[in-house]
Amino acid sequence: MTRRAVLGNWVVPLGVFVALAFVPKLNVTIPKLFDNSISSPGTLQLLGACLLLGALALTYDLQFGFTGLLSFGHALYIALGVYLSNIAITDWHWTFWVAILFTMGVAFVLAIVLGFVSLRVGGIAFAMVTLAFAQAGAVLALKDPHHWTHGEEGLGADYTKLPHAFVGIFNTKNLYWLALAFLAFVFFVVRWAIESSPGRVWQAIRENEQRVEVLGMRPHLFKLQSFVLSSTLAAAGGIVYMLLYSGSTLAVTAPTFTLTLLLMVVIGGAGSRWGAVLGGILYTYLNDRLVAVGSSSTVEGLPRALRTPLEQPLFLLGTIFILIVFFLPGGIAGIAARGRPSGLRRLQETIRPEPTLAAPQEDA
C-alpha cells in the first residue's frame, strides 16, 4: 500500500471520527447554527441524528450508488430494526441483547427472501416492487393486528430493559457516541465490501450489467449480496434509531422515508462514501434547522406567497435536490472531485499498480 493510500484509507477517516468523538466535550455556543451549547442534550441529539442518518444514507448508497439498484423500499429494513427490537423488548419482555440478535437475524433472512423475489425484475420494476413490500410493512405497523406496534401512537421503549448508558437526557452524549460508532462501523464495512472482489463486480453491474453476464458471472447473485448487506446494515441502524429516540414511530415506515434517503445520497453524491454521509448529515441538519428559519422574524415579515414555501423544509430540500440533479450531477462530492479523474478511471488506476491483483480488465 502506498503512503498516500494509507493516509486516505485509514488516517483521514479515523482522524475525522476521533475528532467528532470530542464534540460532546465542547461547551461552546455557535449562534445561528445551533440554539444551545454544543454539549447540551438537545444539540447532541440533533447531531447524533445527523450522524445516524449519514450512516443510513451510506447503507442506501451501497445498493444505489455502488450497485445501481434503485430501491424505494429501504425504509422497510430500517423500520424493522426500529420496531422489531422494540417489540421484543417492550411487548415480549426479552432481554436487550437477545432482542437485538433476533432482530438482526430476522432482517438478514427477510432481506434474502424479499431480495431474491424483487431482484427477479430489474430497473424501474425493481423500484416499484421494493416500494410495494415497504408499503406492506408500513400497513402492518399502522394496522397493528397483534397490538404490538400501537399504530399511530407509536411504541415507547421500556427503558428499564435498555442498557442504562442509553437512558435519560443526561446520557444523550452516549447516544451521540453510539451513532458516531455506528457511522464509523458502516463506513469501514462499506469500504471493505466495495473493495472486495464481489464489490468490484457490483460496480461493474452498475456500469454495464450485460457485460458482467457475458464475462460468465451471474449478476443476480451479486446484486443479492449487495442488497442483503445493505439491508442488514440498515436494520442495525434501525436499532440505533430506536435507542436514539427511545421508541418507535410510524415516520420510519413511510415510503417517503426511503425517498428522503435517496435525496440525501443524491445531494451528497451517489457512489461516493463521504458524499452519502455528508448528504445524510446535511439533509438532517437542514430539515431540522430550516423549521427555525421558517419561523424566524425575517421570514415572518415576507408576503404570504414567499413565506409559505420557506416554512416547509421538505419543499426547499426537494427543490435543492431537483437543482442538483440538473446542474450538479455527482452532488457535493462531485464538486470536490472536479479536476480529479472520474470514478471509473480512478478505480482502474488503483487496480493497475498491483500486478498481483488479477482484476477483470474493464476497458475504458
Partner 1 sequence: MSTLLLLTLTGFGLGAMYFLIASGLSLIYGLMGVLNFAHGAFISVGAYATWWTEAHLFSGVHSFVLRFLLAALMGLVIGAVFAALVELVLIRPLYNRHIDQVLVTVGLQLAFVALLVGIWGPDAKSFVVPPWLHETTNVAGARIPNDRWVEIATAAAVLALLQLFLRRTRYGLIIRAGVENRAMVQALGIDVRKAFTLVFAIGGVAAAVAGVLSGVYFNVVGPEQGTSLLIFAFIVVVIGGLGSIGGSAVAAMVVALTQQYTNYYASSGIGDMVVVLLLGVVLLARPRGFAGAAVGARA
Cβ-contact 280, 58 below 8 angstroms = yes
Among 247, 255, 280, 331, binds partner 1 (CB under 8 A): 255
Which residues lie closer than 8 Å to 297 by C-beta, 6 or more apart?
none
Q: Name the residue among 281, 289, 272 with its Cα closest to residue 328.
A: 272
Q: Is the dihedral of CA 200, 328, 292, 262 positive or negative?
A: negative
Residue 247 DSSP SS3: strand
Q: Does 321 bind partner 1 (CB under 8 A)?
A: yes
Q: Give the nearer residue to partner 1 in terms of CB position, either 198 or 318.
A: 318
Among 1, 14, 121, 165, binds partner 1 (CB under 8 A): 121
Among 12, 325, 335, 357, binds partner 1 (CB under 8 A): 325
170-173's contacts with Cβ under 8 Å and 24+ in sequence apart are 170/41, 172/41, 172/44, 172/45, 172/48, 173/24, 173/39, 173/41, 173/44
Q: Does 322 bind partner 1 (CB under 8 A)?
A: yes
Q: Does 123 bind partner 1 (CB under 8 A)?
A: yes
**What are the grid coordinates assigned to 350, written together?**
488503483
Q: Give the nearer residue to partner 1 in terms of CB position, either 148 or 166.
A: 148
Q: Give the nearer residue to partner 1 in terms of CB position, either 24 or 331.
A: 331
Cβ-contact 89, 103 below 8 angstroms = no
How many angstroms separate the Cα of 149 from the Cα of each of 29, 85, 154, 255? 39, 11, 6, 18
User: Nearest approach, Cβ of 328 to partner 1 (angstroms)?
Assistant: 11
Cα 87 → chain centroid? 23
* Identity of the amino acid at 166: F
User: Nearest approach, Cβ of 311 to partner 1 (angstroms)?
Assistant: 6
Q: How many CB atoms lie within 10 A of CB 189?
A: 16
Looking at 175-183, 186-194, 225-233, 306-314, which segment touches partner 1 (CB under 8 A)? 306-314
Among 9, 37, 91, 122, binds partner 1 (CB under 8 A): 122
**What are the grid coordinates assigned to 3, written together?**
503512503
| Phi, psi of 247, rounded to the nearest 5 degrees | 160, -175
Among 309, 342, 354, 360, binds partner 1 (CB under 8 A): 309
Cβ-contact 155, 82 below 8 angstroms = no
Q: Does 256 bind partner 1 (CB under 8 A)?
A: yes
Number of residues that bind partner 1 (CB under 8 A): 45
Q: Does 70 bind partner 1 (CB under 8 A)?
A: yes
User: Nearest approach, Cβ of 65 to partner 1 (angstroms)?
Assistant: 11
Q: Give the nearer residue to partner 1 in terms of CB position, either 122 or 154.
A: 122
Q: Does 319 bind partner 1 (CB under 8 A)?
A: yes
Looking at 26-34, 129-137, 171-179, 354-362, which segment touches partner 1 (CB under 8 A)? 129-137
For partner 1, the binding residues in 137-196 under the rule CB under 8 A are 139-140, 142-143, 145
User: Nearest approach, Cβ of 325 to partner 1 (angstroms)?
Assistant: 5
Which residues bind to partner 1, rule: CB under 8 A?
70, 117-118, 120-129, 131-133, 135-136, 139-140, 142-143, 145, 255-256, 259-260, 262-263, 266, 308-309, 311-315, 317-319, 321-322, 325-326, 329
